[in-house]
Amino acid sequence: MDYILAGIQEAFVLLLSGDEEVYTAVFATLKVSSMSIFFTLVIGLPTGFLLGYTNFPGKNFVRSVVDALLALPTVVVGLWVYAFISSRGPLGNLNLLFTLPGVAIGEVVLALPIVIALSAQAIEELDLSVKDTLLTLGAAGRKLALDILWEGRYGMLMAAVTAYGRIISEVGVATMLGGNIKWRTRTITTAMAFETNKGQFAMGMALGFILLLIAFIVNGTLSFAKRMRQSR
């Protein structure tokens, strides 16, 4: 028990003293997660909206595939993206392996099904009555589509926050594609795994506190989105 208490104490010292190693990992995490969530949302939200809003032959099949991809193992994503961006892969000349943009690609692949599936579901769950309500008030065409999107905004926010939660806590892709290179691609999660293995318990604890703080913020936002959505 003493070593846990000592670890916690030392963790606070590291955090409050602005330890460079800790904060480099934190900034790397924030940088890569921001990149990942940005591209995930840019691609995922319009795709999810279209999937939920439109009807086309094979829609159910596409939904099933997207839903199946929700359970995509991170190491499988890591492996496939590794194959594409390694020097022998089709994107090898871009030199993305063991860089933060390389990690971001893997995390986008991981988070995209979450954003697509949840935002499509959010639009579908608005059900016909919202569309009919807008129609009866005179909305049509692009305005109708944009207002349905607006009415589904809390569902969309839930999709974004859930995806961010997945990205920020992810370790498999970050390790395989980032390589856990100190001062460069080491993120909170990879650093925690690595430092704990080395016996640097305090460092792991300090990073863990920051990760928990981010998780609380993410969950708080998620709860807000849920409440607003249920208040419809």
Partner 1 sequence: MLYELKNIKRYYNGRCALSINHLAIEGGQIYALVGPNGSGKTTLLRILAFLDEPTMGEVFYNGSLVAPKMMPFLRREVTMLLQDSRLLTRKVKDNVAYGLKLRGMDPLSMKHRVNEALEMVGLSPKEFANRKWYELSGGEAQRVALASRLVLRPKVLLLDEPTANVDAVSESLINDAVVRAKEEWKTTIIVVSHNLLWLYSVADEVLTLWGGRIIQQGPENIIPGPWKKLETGLYCKTLRDGQKIFVSGEPSESKVISISPSEILLASHGEKSSARNVLRGFVTQMTYHNGDQVRVHVSVGDITLVAFLTKDAVMDLNLHPGMDIYVIFKASAAKWL
Residues of this chain that bind partner 1 (CB under 8 A):
129-130, 132-141, 143, 147, 150-151, 153-154, 228, 231-232
Residue 19 gets the label, from left (phi > 0), alpha (psi -120 to 50) or beta, of beta
Residue number with CB closer to partner 1 (154 or 191): 154
| Inter-CA distances, 9 with 106, 114, 175, Å | 35, 37, 28
For residue 134, the minimal CB distance to partner 1 (Å) is 8
User: Which residue, 20 or 127, is less far from partner 1 as judged by CB?
Assistant: 127
Q: Please tell me the distance from the alpha carbon of residue 228 to that of residue 154, in angstroms, as a whole number.
A: 7
Q: Please identify, using beta-carbon distances, which residue of 16 and 140 lies nearer to partner 1.
A: 140
Closer residue to partner 1, CB minimum distance, 78 or 152: 152
Identify which of residues 71 and 140 has a Cβ nearer to partner 1 in the complex. Answer: 140
Task: Give the contacts of 221 (CB within 8 A, at least 6 positions apart).
Answer: 157, 161
Closest distance of CB 133 from partner 1, Å: 5
Nearer to partner 1, 79 or 222 (CB): 222
Nearest-10 Cα torsion for 109, 111, 112, 118:
160
Provide the minimum distance between the beta carbon of 135 and partner 1 in the complex, in angstroms, as a whole number: 6
Q: What are the C-alpha distances in Å from 223 to residues 30, 41, 157?
A: 22, 20, 10
Task: Work out the widest C-alpha separation in the chain, in whole angstroms.
Answer: 68
Interhelix angle for 141-151 vs 153-168, to 10°?
A: 60
- Whole-angstrom CA distances from 19 to 14, 31, 32, 46 are 5, 18, 20, 41
Least distance in angstroms from the C-beta of 146 to partner 1: 12
Q: Residue 182 Cβ, how far from partner 1 at the closest point, in Å?
A: 47
- We find the least distance from the C-beta atom of residue 227 to partner 1, in angstroms, to be 9
